[in-house]
Structure 1
Amino acid sequence: MGSFYRQVDERTFDSLRATAGPWSPHAQHAGPPAALLARAMERHEPAPGTRLADVRLDILGPIPVAPLTVDVTVLRGGRSMHLLEASASADGRPVAIARAWRIVRAPDDFPRLTGLRESGTDPVPEAADDSSRLELPGMHADGYLSAIEWRFVSGGVGTGGTAVAWGRQLVPLLPDEEPSPWERALVLADSGGGITLTVDPRRHTYINCDLHVVLDRDPDGEWVRMSSQALASPGHGGTVHTTLADQHGDLGTGVQTMVLQDARS
């Protein structure tokens, strides 16, 4: 399991088995495609002194473990901010679309505003004796779940819908390419609904149709801390809220819109 993707040409990326999600070997976990589209937007007409500020991914349907064609356009240009859009298609059919604001970096001497954040964070726990792989009922393990290492601080699968965990990707997005901070964050951020999973997937489905991540600071290091809570309102819908952090403290927020249904027999 060398990487999530292999680049075929300028626009085409072959999806490798590490992208396969927990419910099928044929459908991708949304983390790797989110990172792939963010990578494309970061590299499109790069502007010195700018950074991605947020990425919103809309999942248009199951993303197959198949070659993806990636296209990027600039929807709004300017001196201080650009709105970019990237799409991924499989066999000519759009399967995911992402938008991102790329903004000018704040001056180094800009006043620091911390809001309600507490300084610092807990360290990455030592590896436990048992598996550091996420265990889900009925999971397909030989894919994304084998490409991510987790170290739980509290909560987790089946513990009531909350979790605090450190995670890191064990394979790069592309061979011999160091993941960018945004890639590391997005590969993991879509797992908020997984690390908090409490409903029995054999009876109920709890699957996101989007992912929106906003980072006021780029993550530092390979480990990303996720503090996630899953919410469900019978008769209405659900969301998963995640606070992302690194060794220096909190750095952003992720939100997923969840589709709640009874499992099909």
Structure 2
Amino acid sequence: MSISTTPRASYFEAIDDHRYKPTTHAGGAWDPDEQHFSPLGGLVVHALARHRAVGPDDGLVLSRISYDILGRLALDECEIQVETIRPGRSIELLEAVVRIAGRPVVRARAWFLAGFDTTAVAGGPDDRLTPPESLTTWPMSEVWPGGYIASLDVRPVAPPRPGRTTAWVSTPLDLVAGVPVSPLASYLALVDTANGIAVRQPPTAWMFPNVDLAVHLHRQPRGAWTGLDTTVTFGPSGQGLTSTVLHDVDGPVGHAQQILTVRPQPGT
């Protein structure tokens, strides 16, 4: 009996400690020749973890990360450099800069906070979503093109509505080929999908890409599914906002916000 050695598909292949090559599965929704930001956001978290792994385990956990998308994300080799901005024993701030062709395209800052046992005072909304195993897959590729969207397993809790959808998202692909990544990096690699699950207008007629993503976590997520309870709002003057309560199988874990630039597609 032969054992298959075919590698699992992935979004990125590591070139060296700081450079990565995206695969076709990272192709964008607005332009398949660009990278979708979602897996790149997870790759940044992987780079942050590698940077922190050089030192001793201090028990700090990533509690907030904000990304600013500075320009076009070409489907090309990228380099990620990480710097400690504010070192500390209980609070630490890191910055990661993603460059493509030598040009900064993403700048991210992440706060790491000390972990303590606060079980006795823990509280907040704890409504759980319907488990993904009991839901039906939604073919999101009917709305969006691109390799990234085609790679997903999306399971809405209820039929998607304009501006309002709650869904589970998962993927069978690895984030980086042949490289172990943290559960948090895998979880956050799916969060930027939120802006595409609750479209207010057809993307063939209107453009509404996000120029940032900010994630706040009150609990570290677990499991292979990212839960997105998403609301999309368009304002009257060209701006929009995608707001998401983030879930894992145990309930809410935090929030995500994305500011949108809303404009008609050329020629419409």
TM-score above 0.5, yes or no: yes
CA RMSD of aligned residues (A): 1.7
Question: Match for residue 38 of structure 2?
Answer: 31
Q: In the alignment, residue 91 of structure 2 is paired with which amino acid?
A: M
- Determine which of 135, 145, 151 is the counterpart of 1:140: 145
Residue matched to 2:89: 79
Structure 1: state its 5+ residue gaps: none
Deviation at residue 111 of structure 1 after TM alignment: 2.9
Aligned to 2:199: 197
SS in 2 for 1:36: helix
Tell me if 1:103 matches 2:113: yes
Contact 1:181 1:218 in 2 (8 A): no
Query: What is the deviation of 1:190?
Result: 0.5
Contact kept, 8 Å, 1:168 with 1:184, in 2: the verdict is no
Shift of 1:25: 1.9
TM-score (norm 1): 0.91
Distance 1:237 1:60, change over 3 A: same
Task: Letter of the 1:257 partner, please give it.
Answer: I
> What percentage of residue pairs aligned between the two structures are identical?
28
Q: Which of 220, 230, 234 is 2:236 aligned to?
A: 234
Distance 2:237 2:166 in 1: 28
Q: Structure 1 residue 154 and structure 2 residue 173: aligned?
A: no
Secondary structure (helix, strand or coil) at the match of 1:190 reads: helix
Q: List runs of 5+ in structure 2 lacking aligned partners.
A: 1-7
> C-alpha deviations, 1:129-171, integer Å up to 9, x for none?
xx6431354x324x10122111111242xx2210011111220
TM-score normalised by the chain length of structure 2: 0.90
- Taking the aligned partners of 2:239 and 2:159, their CA distance within structure 1 comes to 22
- After superposition, give the CA deviation of every residue in 1:88-138 in whole Å (9 maximum; x if it has no partner): 111101111111001211x225533323x034432114353xx6431354x
Shift of 1:225: 1.1
Shift in Å at residue 233 of structure 1?
1.2
Structure 1 stretches of 4+ with a deviation exceeding 4 A read: none
Greater helix fraction, Structure 1 or Structure 2: 2
